[in-house]
Amino acid sequence: MEKEALLKKLSKSTINSLHTFYTTYLRINSSLQTLSLPQLISKEVIHYYIQYVIHKNGIHVRGVSTSSSGAGDKKDKREEKERLRQQKQDNDYIMGGSLGSALIYVVGKKLGWGRSLMDVCDSFNPQDDDEEKNDEK
């Protein structure tokens, strides 16, 4: 009951932002577990992740598009809307992976538990994440 009341107060944009924040948080945690890094690293990475999101007012990564491109035909308005939604979801997914990889790599090096950048990026295992994305639909 309480959850529904709270959701009614939030805008759709806020709900989408929270969903992106939470899914990225889950991906970072999964990656940290895959890499078997100590709890200290996990706490620091999550701390920096939250600080980054607060400072940037969301997950924004330079070099990854935040907007959708292309103009559609009015006949295919529904298809175009779906394509734009999917493109935004893909961009959020890429930004989350990029940010998570960078944070884990830098914090790991800083605290003496560094892994190669390739290992960190591989820990975000896109095959598992693609299955999760399909399960959400």
Do residues 46 and 25 touch, judged by C-beta distance below 8 A? yes
pTM of the entire predicted model:
0.74
Sequential pLDDT tens for the chain (137 residues):
688 888 788 888 888 888 888 999 999 999 999 999 999 999 999 999 999 988 887 776 666 655 555 555 556 788 888 888 888 888 888 888 889 999 999 999 999 988 888 999 898 865 554 455 555 54
Beta-carbon contacts of residue 45 (< 8 Å; ≥ 6 apart): 28, 32, 100, 103, 104, 107
